[in-house]
């Protein structure tokens, strides 16, 4: 594994700001992090060039619930590296993690459960033995909701665009899809360029993006090489609770949780957590609640793919694979 430089306080603050609002002007980001705009832009350019941080259009829980079926698929640990790489490059594989139980992939489909089944079979046809498939009843939190928690509330308020609505009538689904397509490669694309792609005025394009974001149908954020921020360990918790929905909602509020789902299975609660040390797991579970029965714990050995980006052994983005499902 290549050594990574630890991100400094300003780097982490910039990433947190862009997690909150990827399209915020550098002047507003600078006001929030306490630096001038030129310095902020220079630091961001260095982060991008080193593949330590990157902008992303995330598939949000709202998009999952409205249009998508999802399954967690566990591959046999003996699956070859070439087969895993080929599977990770499939556009409807949203994420892939090498764990102590095998490679766990998140498969999505928008054509119903039959299509989801076909996609799992397509994974198997690429040389992988599928050991387990769990269909999601709900995705409660995805990586789009995870934050570094570096900026204070006052700093976060400085990021707010007073002209952007907190609530707005969402655009039509097909319009959201067009906007997502336009911003997928460059979430900071100027409104004028978005307008040209959509065939509308610049003002309409700006309002459409703002409405899609406010409605939760489009989330533009920032991802990073987790080890560079000190998050060198990860785990997946499988649990039960008499109140699965309430337990999942509480899990989504845990600072360490970046992925939460309710699955159809013996242990329906699925929670992915990030930590600085695996010794933190007991504290994380205690914070989750007394009514939680954790039935299994898998260690994440390394991330392979996360929301459209293939990761190297150090957690840096090495290649972008656009998501289509």
Each of the 325 residues of the chain gets a pLDDT tens digit; together they read 567 899 999 999 999 999 999 999 999 999 999 999 999 999 999 999 999 999 988 766 566 666 789 999 999 999 999 999 999 999 999 999 999 999 999 999 988 899 999 999 999 999 999 999 999 999 999 888 899 999 999 999 999 877 766 666 788 878 888 888 888 878 999 999 999 998 999 999 999 998 888 887 888 899 999 999 999 999 999 999 999 999 999 999 999 999 999 999 889 999 999 999 999 999 999 999 999 999 999 999 999 999 889 999 999 999 999 888 8
Question: What is the torsional sign of CA 282, 286, 290, 294?
Answer: negative
Beta bridge partners of 224: 53
CA–CA dist 270, 231 (Å, integer): 20
Asked whether the beta carbons of 291 and 239 are under 8 A apart, the reply is: no
> Which pLDDT score is estimated for 178?
85
> Which pLDDT score is estimated for 57?
82
CA–CA dist 269, 238 (Å, integer): 6
Give Dmax (Cα) for the chain: 54
Single pTM value for the model: 0.90
CA–CA dist 55, 34 (Å, integer): 21
> Which pLDDT score is estimated for 324?
84
H or E element at residue 182: helix 173-183
H helix runs in 199-278, sequence order: 202-214, 244-252
Q: Output b/e per residue, 5-28; b: 16+ Cβ within 10 A.
A: eebeeebbbbbbbbbbbbbbebeb
Length of the chain: 325
> Which pLDDT score is estimated for 213?
85
């Amino acid at each position: 594994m290549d050594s990574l430089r630890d991100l400094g306080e300003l780097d982490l603050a910039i990433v947190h700001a862009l997690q909150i609002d990827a399209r915020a002007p550098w002047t507003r980001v600078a006001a929030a992090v306490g630096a001038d705009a030129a310095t902020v832009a220079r630091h961001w350019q260095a982060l991008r060039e080193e593949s330590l941080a990157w902008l992303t259009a995330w598939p949000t829980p709202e998009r999952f619930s409205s249009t998508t079926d999802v399954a967690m698929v566990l591959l046999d640990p003996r699956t070859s590296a070439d087969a895993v790489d080929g599977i990770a490059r499939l556009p409807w594989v949203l994420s892939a993690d090498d764990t102590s139980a095998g490679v766990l992939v998140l498969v999505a489909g928008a054509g119903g459960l039959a299509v989801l089944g076909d996609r799992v079979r397509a994974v198997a046809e690429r040389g992988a033995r599928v050991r387990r498939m769990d269909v999601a009843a709900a995705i409660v939190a995805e990586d789009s909701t995870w934050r570094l928690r570096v900026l204070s509330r006052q700093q976060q308020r400085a990021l707010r665009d007073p002209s952007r609505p907190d609530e707005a009538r969402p655009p039509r689904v097909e319009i959201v899809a067009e906007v997502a397509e336009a911003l997928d490669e460059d979430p900071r694309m100027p409104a004028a360029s978005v307008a040209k792609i959509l065939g509308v005025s610049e003002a309409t394009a700006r309002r459409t993006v703002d409405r899609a974001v406010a409605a939760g149908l489009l989330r533009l954020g920032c991802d990073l090489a987790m080890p560079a921020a000190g998050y060198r360990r990860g785990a997946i918790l499988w649990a039960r609770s008499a109140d699965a929905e309430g337990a999942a909602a509480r899990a989504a509020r845990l600072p360490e949780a970046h992925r939460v789902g309710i699955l159809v299975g013996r242990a329906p609660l699925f929670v992915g957590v990030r930590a600085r040390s695996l010794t933190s797991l007991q504290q994380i579970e205690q914070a989750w609640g007394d009514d939680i029965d954790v039935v299994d714990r898998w260690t994440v050995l390394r991330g392979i793919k996360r929301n459209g980006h293939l990761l190297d052994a150090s957690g840096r983005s090495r290649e972008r694979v656009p998501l289509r499902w």
